[in-house]
Each structure stands twice: as C-alpha cells, then as structure tokens.
C-alpha cells in the first residue's frame, strides 16, 4: 500500500565548519555578530528553510546560497531567516516625552510658522516604533498649527518590512498604546473571533518604508532629519562596526538634530559630531 504522507526530511546537523562559514558571511555582509551560542538558533532556522526548499542537506543549501545564480534572492531570504526582530509600541517611552517636551520646541521656527519635520527610524523592524512616533507627532500637530511631519522606516529584513507596511497588529501587540491613542489611531478588524487592529490610513500615509543594510557604503537617503531613532541596534555590532555605522547615520542629521539610542547602548568613546543632552539622547553639534 502506497502512503500518501510526505517523507519526513532528516534532521540537519549544523557542524562547526558550517556554522563558521554562515556566521562569517552574516557578519561580513550585515555587521551582525553571530557568536557560537547562537548555533542552536541558526540550526533550527536553517532546518525550517531546508524544508521549505525541499533540500536534504546543508551542503545543497550552501551551494544555493553562495554559488548558484539564485544566490541573490536566497541571500535576502537567508537574512530574513537569521535576523532577530524585537520591538514594541511605546518602547522606552521617556524618549517620546523628551521629543515632545524638549526636542520639538527647540527646533520650532516660530509660533504658527509652517514647519515640516522629518524623522528616520533606522532598524524599524515590523513598524511599531515608526507608528508610535507618528501617533506622538500627530498629537503634537493637533496642538501646533502649521506642523507637518514625515517618517522613514528602514530595516534589512524584507519580511518585517512587509509587516510594517501592512500595519496590522494583534491585540497583545497594541496593549502598550494608551487607550485614547488606540481609539484615535487604530481600526479594529471585523473578525469577531480574532482581535486585530490596523493603523489608520492618515498615519500610514506619513510613514514610508525601505530596505537598508547598515554595511552599505552609501545609504542612498537624500533627506536630512530632525530626529533619528537608532535604538537597540548597536548591540548586534562589534565596536568598529558601531563607529562606522554611527558616523554614517550622524551624517543624515540636520544641524541641531537629535539622535535617540537605546537605553542599554552607549556612545562613549566614539568620535561623533553629537553631544549627550539626556539619557540616550544626543544632539548634532556641527
């Protein structure tokens, strides 16, 4: 009797040699450190990818990734596979308080004067940070006539960028959003069995997303920004890579613009055109 069940793929063992090749290529191309303790995580994710591609062993996958003509598109999928994306709405909320109370007033050209402020969320993941920023800025615009804004969100992972553009989130994800903001800026889905929410189109239209690799020599961003949120990204880089990336990011700041880093991250010891003005907040000095 012929079984209709699909054959179970053998379990893939990630050898030290395999891990060294994969981890070195990840760090070289993306700057992301891949220490040996990440080996079980990488093995698990590669196992899942091999099943998707119907491949039996890692050598076949290595050839597809590094040697075949399809390597470009598979490399993007590989990066999606290995990157870790952790974010929340209103994460590190004191930054948004500082933005409203100090940063924006310091850049205001004058009461009632037309003003378009620009912001960049560098390492935006699935969109929670830029949409949080959009809510905060929209509230500011309600009190300050003539104020407009636009936000750029970038990430190396095409998978999370698709989620960010869709702007659809589960009830658990939107829980940190204040109730009045949820009422004003989120639409609830019609499925009574599943509570899902989508950011209102008025805010979605003010946020654009694009893929960016921090290791690229040129970022291709023509804008200069009043504020850049580069939070909880440096922790994945070695010190020399941090200096290189931070230097490139700071070049995108307007004169007097603000850089927001993660609370667990330090800019001490770096040669950068910024000075610290608050906890994990820096201002451009040139």
Is residue 219 over pLDDT 70? Answer: yes
DSSP of 187-228, one letter per residue?
EE-S-TTS-EEEE-HHHHTTEEEEE--TTSS-------EEEE
Burial grade of 39 (CB within 10 A; 0-12, 13-18, 19 or more): middle
282 membership: H or E segment, kind and range = strand 281-284
Whole-structure pTM value: 0.91
User: Given this model, what pLDDT does residue 247 score?
Assistant: 96
pLDDT digits (tens, 9 = 90+) for 92-108: 999 999 999 999 999 99
How high is the mean pLDDT of the chain?
91
pLDDT at 6: 45
In whole angstroms, what is the distance from residue 43 CA to residue 18 CA? 10
Torsion angle of C-alpha atoms 247, 140, 132, 264, degrees rounded to 10: 50
140: phi then psi, degrees, rounded to nearest 5: -65, -40
Which of 180-184, 191-195, 239-243, 280-284 is predicted with the least confidence, judged by mean pLDDT?
191-195
Beta bridge partners of 227: 119, 258
Residue 204 has pLDDT above 60, yes or no: yes
Kindly state the tokens that stand for 241. Answer: 């890579």
Active site residue 155: yes
- Domain parsing of the chain, residue ranges: 16-82, 94-284
Name the range with the highest mean pLDDT among 15-19, 33-37, 82-86, 141-145: 141-145
DSSP per position, 87-110 = --TT-STHHHHHIIIIIHHHH--S
CATH number of 16-82: 1.10.155.10
Whether the Cβ atoms of residue 187 and residue 200 lie closer than 8 Å to each other: yes
Question: Which entry of 155, 204, 231, 283 is annotated as an active-site residue?
Answer: 155
Is 97 designated active site? no
Q: How far apart are CA 259 and CA 108, in angstroms?
A: 17
Condensed to tens digits (0 to 9), the pLDDT of residues 43-101 reads 999 999 999 999 888 888 888 888 765 557 888 999 998 887 778 999 999 999 999 99
pLDDT at 71: 53
- Residue in the block written with tokens 């994969």: 22
β-bridge partners, 115: 147
pLDDT range class, residue 215, cuts 50, 70, 90: very high
Q: Which class does domain 94-284 fall in?
A: alpha beta
Residue labelled with tokens 């990157």: 83
Residue among 45, 144, 184, 224 flagged as catalytic: 45
User: What is the rounded CA–CA span in Å between residue 117 and residue 58?
Assistant: 48
pLDDT at 8: 42
How far apart CA 134 and CA 136 sit, in angstroms, is: 5
Position 126 confidence tier, pLDDT thresholds 50, 70, 90? very high
């Amino acid at each position: 009797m012929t079984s209709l069940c699909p054959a179970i793929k053998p379990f893939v063992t990630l050898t030290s040699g395999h891990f060294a090749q994969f981890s070195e290529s990840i760090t070289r191309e993306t700057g992301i450190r891949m220490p040996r303790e990440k080996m079980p995580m990488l093995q698990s994710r590669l196992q899942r990818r091999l099943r998707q591609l119907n491949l039996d062993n890692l050598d076949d996958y290595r050839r597809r990734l590094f040697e075949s003509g399809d390597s470009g598109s598979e490399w993007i999928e590989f990066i999606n596979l290995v990157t870790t994306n952790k974010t929340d709405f209103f994460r590190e909320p004191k930054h948004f308080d500082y933005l409203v109370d100090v940063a924006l007033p310091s850049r205001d050209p004058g009461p009632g004067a037309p003003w378009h402020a620009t912001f960049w969320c560098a390492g935006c993941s699935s969109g929670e940070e830029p949409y949080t920023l959009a809510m905060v800025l929209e509230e500011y615009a309600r009190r300050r006539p003539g104020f407009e804004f636009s936000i750029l969100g970038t990430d190396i992972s095409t998978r999370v960028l698709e989620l960010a553009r869709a702007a659809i989130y589960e009830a658990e994800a939107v829980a940190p959003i204040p109730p009045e903001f949820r009422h004003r800026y989120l639409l609830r889905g019609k499925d009574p069995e599943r509570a899902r929410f989508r950011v209102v189109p008025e805010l979605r239209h003010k946020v654009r997303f694009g893929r960016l690799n921090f290791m690229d020599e040129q970022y291709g961003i023509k804008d200069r920004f009043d504020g850049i949120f580069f939070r909880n990204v440096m922790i994945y880089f070695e010190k020399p890579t941090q200096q290189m990336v931070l230097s490139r990011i700071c070049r995108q700041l307007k004169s007097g613009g603000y850089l927001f880093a993660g609370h667990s991250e330090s800019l001490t010891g770096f040669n950068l055109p910024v000075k610290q003005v608050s906890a994990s907040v820096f201002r451009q000095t040139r």
